Structure 1
Amino acid sequence: MTLTLARPGTRTAVPRRVLRPGTVVPALVLLIAVAWALVPGLFTAASPTETVAAALLGPSPAHWFGTDATGRDVFARVIHGASHSVTGALAAVLVGLVAGTAIGVTAGAAGGAVDEVLMRIVDVLLAIPALLLSLSVVILLGFGTTNAALAVGVTSVAVFARLARAQVVSVRVADFVEAAYGSGGTAASVLWRHILPNSLTPVLALAALQLGSAILQISTLGFLGYGAPPPTPEWGLLISEGRNYVATAWWLTVLPGLVVVAVVLATNRLSQALRGGERP
């Protein structure tokens, strides 16, 4: 993939890519998921933890996703579950983005021994499978959405660090950067005004991609019992609770699972648009 670097003072084409027709639906899906997380009461009046009808009712106009084994509205639980799954994923991406970018920019800008030491630490993190690392961290910190988000964030630090370093190393040898140094710019000012603005677009695209991955990882931790405890409506936990009723109440696993798939696919599509993968 060829990346065209924007010169200082020029506008990037990223907003145009994101607003193209092929990205409108994914953007709406992601906005709905975020709205569920922030203001769930606008989308359902049902309680996510209280019995509202008979147990194991199928999907209907009264209960769009049916009811679970205790008579709780599954649609309400999915909506309220976004406040744990989506916000947890956003927090995880923020941890990885901030920590990883800081490490990568420091390594790329400093070079030499600093670069070698930091990148060897990153290599160690990359050598550990993401799920194993997140499980290890969450077991050390304890169960819960906050700790699960921190654990997932730790697994993405190395990915952000590698990409940020590669971008900084590539941009710092560009002609306009050399010209900035020749004009008397200090290392800090050139880094802030010229290198970082031309290095962070791929990192932000990776953040969009990692959001989908973080939702999957947090849902996986919840499915395995390492996330939010019952009766908290967390997406992975909802799927786990319905697995014993697959033959008789398919909606308990299929519908929450489809929500997770839709949100993850939406974030992947937006990430592709940010990377410039949208076809004209």
Structure 2
Amino acid sequence: MSLTEDNIFLDLLIKAISAIPLNTIEFDRLSIEGLKCLLSYTHDKEIPFVTPEYEVFRYSAILAAKQVSNDAYHTIMKQLPTLEQSEQMEQLSHLNSLQVEKKLIADNQKVASELEHLVEFINFKRIEGRILVNIIEPLEITPNEVILDVYRHNTLSINSDSNDIRGIPIYRLNDSDLVFDESVCSSKLTIEDGGKVVQASANCVKHQSARINMLLENKRIFEWDVIVEKNCRFIYIGVCSSENFNYEGFAGSQPTGWVVGSCGSCCNSGVWTNNYCPSLKDGKKLRFT
């Protein structure tokens, strides 16, 4: 392949991997050089990325330990909980009270040496202070000046609103987060079953709109799945603005509404684009981004 083709392929590959949580990738599937390429390519760049920065560090540290020895690998696996596990530990007051058992990592300096190739591409400022203090620093595999620099930054930036995910964060919405909001739906629609079901009234003869209770704000990428349990003549799913939107009308005919129909076409401001996606059928799952 030519250099241009190589660059295009690399760009597509990086974007594909960036959308996969690192903690779902087995440690023998990605080399140190491969991970370095991913992190350097996405470091401080506006590229959609799904993995929180702590999980980036965790994956890097475990992969570095795996290059050293099995003992180092297994020890650091135990010492570095996933982000979800660390939150559970905090709820049990284990993390903040330093009740987490620490064990000296075998070949500590060798692990630090392997990790050194990746540290410069990890933004530790995106990692919560409690995790830095209670989990990362005690491992002694990260340069002291890196940790100290973060502490200085955090001291001067108490109200910092930086994300814990690099680039343009990708957030996957959970079913429990999504319910329809009774205060913002058409008068001809009723919301039932705790916000999970929208039912049209008998006199509803035109397209009407209902909205979930979550606002998709800031410069981020959100993903959620919609399952059509039972198709009807027409179904339209999409996004709308929180302002200047008429719920008594068809979302796709408005400049502040964008919808995908069960026929596979999409519409905004009354302008249709055909064959936007496969048509929706019973039991069909559609992922929106």
Name the TM-score, length of structure 1 as normaliser: 0.23
Q: Which has the higher helix share?
A: 1
Q: Which has the higher strand share?
A: 2
Q: Which has the larger radius of gyration?
A: 2
Name the TM-score, length of structure 2 as normaliser: 0.23
Q: Which has the higher contact order (CA 8 A, sep 6+)?
A: 1
